[in-house]
Structure 1
Amino acid sequence: MSGMVMAASALGDRALGRQVHCQILRLGFGAYAFTGSPLVDMYAKMGLIGDAKRVFDEMEGKNVVMYNTMITGLLRCKMVAEARGVFEAMADRDSITWTTMVTGLTQNGLQSEALDVFRRMRAESVGIDQYTFGSILTACGALAASEEGKQIHAYTIRTLYDDNIFVGSALVDMYSKCRNIRLAEAVFRRMTCKNIISWTAMIVGYGQNGCGEEAVRVFSEMQRDGIKPDDFTLGSVISSCANLASLEEGAQFHCMALVSGLRPYITVSNALVTLYGKCGSIEDAHRLFDEMPFHDQVSWTALVSGYAQFGKAKETMDLFEKMLLKGVKPDGVTFIGVLSACSRSGLVEKGRSYFHSMQKDHGIVPLDDHYTCMIDLYSRSGRLKEAGEFIRQMPRCPDAIGWATLLSACRLHGDMEIGKWAAENLLKTDPQNPASYVLLCSMHASKGEWSEVAQLRRGMRDRQVKKEPGCSWIKYKNKVHIFSADDQSHPFSGTIYEKLQWLNSKMVEEGYKPDVSSVLHDVADAEKVHMLSNHSEKLAIAFGLIFVPEEMPIRVVKNLRVCVDCHNATKFISKITGRDILVRDAVRFHKFSNGICSCGDFCTNKSRSLQTKGESAFANSSMQFGIRIVHDFYILIDSCVPKWKVPGCHMGT
C-alpha cells in the first residue's frame, strides 16, 4: 500500500491519494508507521498540509522517520513555527532531522536561525554529512557571512569533506556571494572532480562579482573538459556577456543555444532578452520576447528594463501596465526600470505615482536604488528644492550615488547652495570619492571662481583623492585600442590627428561652436578649445572612421561621462560622415545618427539639439548602464541552424 501512496504522490493525483488512504484505513493499516509516513509526505507535497497533520497526530508510536517527514512537509509549506514545535518535541533526533531543519530554515529565508541550529547540532556531536554542509554554506552565502563560512570551510577540511563535489560546489557559491571571488576560484581549482554544478557555480560567481570575461573563459574551459552546458549554465554565461555589453560573445552563445536546442528554455531566453536590450538592440530583444511561449517575472522585467535603459518612457510604461494586466507581479528591479524611464524623460508626476504605488499596491520596500531614481527624477528636471525635501523625508540618508546625482544636477543648473550641501554629505558618506571635488570645481569654474577651484584641488592633494583619468577605447579586429586626451602613442597617431583636423574644419562649417564650460583650467579660450579638440572619445571616433568599414557602426566606450562638448561634436560628426556612432559612457548609451542622439540631449538638461540649415533634431531619451562594449562582428550561423536569425550576425571580418 505504501507503494501506491508514493505513486499517487508522484502523480500529484489527489483523488487517487485519498482513495488509497481510504483503502489503507479499511484494511486496518492506518496506525502503522510504514503507511503513515508516506501519507504525511503525500499530503504535504500536494499542499494538503491539514490532512498531513491529521494523519501525523492520529498516528501512534511515531518514529523518527515520521517526525522528519512531518517537519519536511511543514517547512515546505512555510509553516516554520509549527515545524520548529515538532522539532523541539522530539525526544530523539538523528542527523537527517537536524539537516532537515537547517535546510528548511535556509530555504525559508531564515539563515541566521539555520546557523543557530547548526551550532546546536555541532554541540550535540551529531554527524554532519555533505547535505548539511551544503545547506549551511548556502545560508552563509545568503547572509554574506564570510567569517562563519571560513570556519565551516575549515571544518569540512578536518572532516575530509572538502574534496566532496557537492561541498566543493557549495563553497564556491558561498565565497562568490561573500564577494571573495579569489577564494572561490582557489576552492574551484583544488577540486579534483567537477560536474556541471561545480562549473556553473564558478561561472555564476564570476558574473556576480563583475568578472564577466573570466566567466566566459571558464565556460570555454568547461567545454574543453567535455562538460556540456545545461540551460542554467548557458543562461549564466549569456548574462555575463550582457553585463559586459559584449555583442560578439553574446551572439555566439545565441548560436550555441539554437544549435544545442536550449533556446526555448526560459532561463536562456530571459538572458538573451537582457543581452540584446543591454547591447542597444531593443528591437531584437522585443522580438525574442514575443517568440517566447511563456513569460515569467524575469522575462517582463528584462524587457521593461531594456526599454527603460533607452529612456523610452511610453513603451516602458505600456509594457509595465501590460505586465500587471497579465497578472505578473513586479519586483524591485522592475520598478527601478520604470522609475529610470520616467527620470530620463522628465515625467516627474508619473514617476512619483509609480514610487508610491510600489509601496502601497505591491508592498515593495524601497531600496537605495529606488531612492536614487527619485532623487534623479527631481534633479534631472531642475526641481532641486523638491529633491532636497525628498532627501530630508527619506528614512535613511542617501548613499554616495544619491548624493552625487544631486550634486551633478546642481552643477548643470548652477545651484551653488544645494550643491555645497550635497558635496558636504557626499564627503561624509564617501571621503575618497572624487565626484564632490570635481563637480564643485566645475561649478566654481563656470562662474570664473578660480581661487575656489585651486583650493578644492589642494584639498584633493592633501587627502590623496585621485580623479580617475578619462580614456576611451574601441575594438577593431579583436584588438582593443585605448586613447587618452592628447594621446600621441598610437601607431597611427598622425593619421588620426589629420582625420580629426579635417572633422573640426567641417564641423565649424556646419555651425559647431566648442563648449568650453567643461574645461576646469584658468587658461585662454583658445587653449580650452585645443584641449577639447583632443578628448579621448574624439580620437577613438576618428580611429573608427578610418578603420571600421562604412557599413558598420562605430562603437566607442568611455570610462567617464561624455562631456557636453564631445556629445555635441559627435552629433555633428555623425551628420557630416553619415555614420552611426554608438558611445557608451559610465552612465548611459548614446546612439548618434544623422546629427541626432538617442538621448535627445535630455542628459545635458540644456536642450542642445543640433540645428543645421534650419533643421531641429529631437529624439527619445535613452540610458544604458555598463563598462564594456565590443565591435559588431559576428559569426555566421550555419545553414542547418533553424529559421531564427541571430540579430547582427553576418559575414565579414
Structure 2
Amino acid sequence: MFAGKTATLLRRIQAQTNNCSFQAKLLKEYTQLNKVLRGLCFTGRLREAVGLLWRTRLKADAATYALLLQECLFRKEHKSGRRIHAHMVVIGYVPNEYLKIKLLILYAKSGDLRTAYVLFDNLLEKTLISWNAMIAGFVQKGCGEFGLDLYYNMIKNGVSPDQYTFASVFRASASLASLEHGKRAHGVLIKSHIRENVVVSSALMDMYFKCSSLTDAHRVFNEVVNRNVVTWTSLISGYGQHGRVNEVLESFDKMINEGFRPNYVTFLAVLSACSHGGLVNEGWHYFLSMKRDYGIQPRGQHYSAMVDLLGRSGKLHEAYEFVLNSPFKEHPAIWGALLGACRIHGDMDLVKLVADKYLELEPENSGTYVLLSNTFATFGFWENLAALRRKMRNSGVIKEPAYSWIEIQGEVHFFLRGDVSHRCSAEIYELIKLMPSILKDPDYVPDIISS
C-alpha cells in the first residue's frame, strides 16, 4: 500500500475523477504526479512508483517514463518495466524513439527477444545503441549466430561498431568456436582505432582461446598496455580450458609479482587447472591462501573444484569428508563433482549415497538425471536406472536435446537427433548409411551403455 504524499495524491485524483472536476485541475495533478513518481524513484521505491502509475490511470511525461525504465534496468526489475510498457499501451500513450530504445533494451536484457525485435523493427532510425542491444540480447540468450547476422546487417547499413558491439561479437564467435568470424571482427576492430578497453580485450582473448588459437590469444594479451586482474584472469582461464597447467601457474605467479591482486574467478581457474593436472598439494595451497593471504572467502565453485581435485586423485573418502564439513554441503555442484569422481574410480557404495543426495538437491534438473543414469549404467545398476527414469517421467522432467554443429564457409549448420529440417537432410542420411561400412574397425566394440 501507499503512504504519505503518495496516498494523498491518489485519493485526490480518484475523488476529483468521481466529482467530474478532474479536467479542471489536470495540469496541476499531472505535474504533481510526475514529481511524486520521480521522488519515489530517487528514494528507491520503484515498485511503489509503478503501482501509483497504474492506479492513477494517468500518463506521465517522457522524462518520467525514461527515469522509471532506467531504474528498472539498473535494478533488473524487468517485470516492473513490462508493467510500465503495459500502462503505456492501456492509456494509449505512444512512446518517442528514445523510450522505444529504452523498452527495447529492457526486453533484450530480460530475454524476451521476440518483443525486443518488434520494437527494433518499428524504430524510425536504428541507432548504434539499438543495434548493440539486439546483438547483446541474442548473444546472452545463447543465439550467437543470430547476433552475428545482426552485426553484419548493421555494418551493411553503414553503422560503425563500438567497443560494446565488439565485446558481443567476440562472445558470439567464442560461443560458436568460430575463428573465422572472430578474426574478421578483430580486423574491423584494428581498423576502427577504438581505444583499448579491458572488456573488449578480455572478450577477444577468450574468443581465441575458445577457438583453440592459443598463440593469438597470448599475442592479444601481450599487446594490452593497461593490464588488470580481469586481463590476467582471462589469460589464466584460457590456458586452464586447454589443460595447460604449467602456463596457468606461471601466469598466476607473474600476475602476483607484477602487483595484481587475484579475485575469486582467478582462483577458480587456478584450482581447476590443479584438478586437471592432479596437483593436490598445490591445490590445497591455493585454496587455503584465498582467505589467509587475500581475504577472499571461498565460494561453492571453489569447494566443487577442490572436490573434483581430490576425486580425480582417487581420494574419494577425503573428498566426501571435505563435502560434509564444507559450508556448501547443500550446493548441488559439489555432489555432482563427487559423483563424477566415484564413477571414474568405481566406488559403488559411495555412488549410491552420493546419488541420493544429488537428486534430492536438484530434482527438476534434467542434467542431474542424465549424470545419474550414466553412472547407474556404468555400474550395471539397472533397477536403479529404471526407477530413476520412471521418476523422471512422472516428474515431467524432459531432457533438453543435444545438438551438433559445424561451420562451413562462414555458415553454421545445426543438427538434432532425427533432424530432417536441414535442406540437405536426404543426402546427409544417405552418406551416414554408407559411413559405418567404410569406417568400422572389425575389432571395435561401441559403448552403448551411456545415455
Short-chain TM bin: 0.7 to 0.9
Q: Deviations over 1:95-120 (max 9, x none)?
A: 799869957x8xxxxxxx36378569
- Corresponding letter in the other structure for 1:480: H
Name which of 226, 230, 241 aligns with 1:309: 241
Shift of 1:222: 1.8
Q: Which has the larger radius of gyration?
A: 1
Residue 254 of structure 2 corresponds to 322
Aligned-residue offset at 1:419: 1.9
Equivalent position SS for 2:430 = coil
C-alpha distance 137-368 of structure 1, shift in aligned 2 (>3 A) = farther
Q: Give the deviation of 1:210 after TM superposition.
A: 1.7
Shift of 1:233: 1.4
Letter in 1 for 2:308: D
Q: Equivalents in 2 of 1:185, 1:383: separation in Å?
A: 52
Report the residue type matching 2:282 in the other structure.
Answer: K
* 1:491 and 2:420 are equivalent in the alignment: no
CA distance in 2, matches of 1:149, 1:209: 19
Tell me the CA shift for residue 159 of structure 1.
Answer: 8.2
Code of the aligned partner of 1:251: K
Q: CA RMSD in A?
A: 3.9
**TM-superposed deviation, 1:247:** 1.2
Question: Which of 282, 286, 289 is the matching residue for 1:357?
Answer: 289
Following TM superposition, by how much is the alpha carbon of 1:281 offset from its aligned partner in structure 2, in angstroms?
1.1
AA matched with 2:46: L
**Unpaired segments of 5 or more residues in structure 1?**
1-92, 106-112, 522-559, 561-653
- Tell me the CA shift for residue 167 of structure 1: 3.0
Task: Evaluate the alpha carbon distance shift between residue 359 and residue 189 of structure 1 in structure 2; reply closer, same or farther with a 3 A threshold.
Answer: farther
Number of equivalent positions = 410
Q: Which residue does the alignment assign to 1:519?
A: 448
Q: Does 1:409 align with 2:348?
A: no
Q: How much identity, in percent, do the aligned residues show?
A: 36
Q: Which amino acid aligns with 2:413?
A: V
Q: 1:480 aligns with which of 403, 407, 413?
A: 413
1:292 aligns with 2:224: yes
Cα offset for 1:307?
0.7
Which runs of structure 2 are paired with 1:331-370 in the superposition (5 Å)? 331-370=263-302
What's the offset of the Cα at 1:127? Answer: 10
Q: Which amino acid aligns with 2:228?
A: D
Which of 298, 315, 322 is equivalent to 1:383?
A: 315
Secondary structure at 1:480 match in 2: strand
Q: Is the Cα contact below 8 Å between 1:177 and 1:205 reproduced in 2?
A: yes
Correspondent of 2:166 among 234, 250, 275: 234
Matched, 1:245 2:177: yes
Local SS of the residue matching 1:328: coil
* 333 and 447 in structure 1: CA distance in 2 versus 1, 3 angstrom threshold: closer
| Greater percentage in helix | 2
Q: Aligned equivalents of 1:291 and 1:182: distance in 2?
A: 39
The structure-2 alpha-carbon separation of the partners of 1:271 and 1:452, relative to structure 1 and needing over 3 Å to count, comes to closer
Equivalent of 1:195 in 116, 121, 127: 127
User: Matched residues in 1 for 2:393 and 2:237: separation?
Assistant: 40
Deviations 1:629-652 (A, max 9, x none): xxxxxxxxxxxxxxxxxxxxxxxx
- Deviation (angstroms), 1:289: 1.0
Contact 1:346/1:381 (8 A) holds in 2: yes
Contact 2:131 2:154 in 1 (8 A): yes
> Counterpart of 1:492 in 2: which secondary structure?
helix
Q: Secondary structure at the match of 1:298?
A: helix
Shift of 1:309: 0.8
Aligned 8 A contact 1:101 1:114 in 2: yes
Tell me the distance in 1 between the aligned counterparts of 2:168 and 2:158: 18
Q: 2:187 aligns with which of 250, 255, 262?
A: 255
Q: Which residue of 1 aligns with 2:150?
A: 218
Tell me if the contact between 1:304 and 1:338 (Cα under 8 Å) persists in the aligned partners. yes
Report if aligned partners of 1:411, 1:440 keep a CA contact under 8 Å in 2: no
Cross-structure match for 1:634: none
Contact 1:162-1:168 at 8 Å conserved across structures: no
Of 213, 234, 238, which residue of structure 2 is paired with 1:281?
213
Change (3 A) 1:484 1:190: closer
- How far the C-alpha of 1:361 sits from its partner, in A, is 4.0
Of residues 137, 141, 162 in structure 1, which corresponds to 2:69? 137
- 2:439 is aligned with 1:500: yes
Decide whether the 8 Å contact of 2:50 with 2:84 is kept in 1. no
* CA distance in 1 between partners of 2:334 and 2:156 (Å): 45
Q: How far 1:250 moved relative to its partner?
A: 0.9
Give 1:520's aligned amino acid.
I
User: In structure 2, what is the Cα distance between the partners aligned to 1:119 and 1:520?
Assistant: 55
Cα 1:101–1:293 change in 2 (3 A) is: farther
Residues 340 and 473 of structure 1: is their aligned pair in 2 closer, same or farther, counting only changes over 3 Å?
same
The one of 115, 127, 137 aligned to 2:46: 115
Work out the CA distance in 1 between the residues paired with 2:118 and 2:334.
Answer: 36
- Relative to structure 1, the CA distance from residue 448 to residue 400 in structure 2 (aligned partners, 3 Å threshold; closer, same or farther) is closer
Provide the rounded CA distance (Å) in 2 between the counterparts of 1:120 and 1:472: 47
Contact kept, 8 Å, 2:300 with 2:328, in 1: the verdict is no
**Shift in CA distance, 119/151, structure 1 to aligned 2, threshold 3 Å:** closer
Partner letter of residue 171 of structure 2? S
AA matched with 1:241: S
**Per the alignment, in what secondary structure is the counterpart of residue 295 of structure 1?**
coil
CA displacement 1:56-90 (0-9 Å, x = unmatched): xxxxxxxxxxxxxxxxxxxxxxxxxxxxxxxxxxx
Taking the aligned partners of 2:351 and 2:176, their CA distance within structure 1 comes to: 33
The 8 Å contact of residues 245 and 278 in structure 1, kept in 2 or not, is answered as: yes
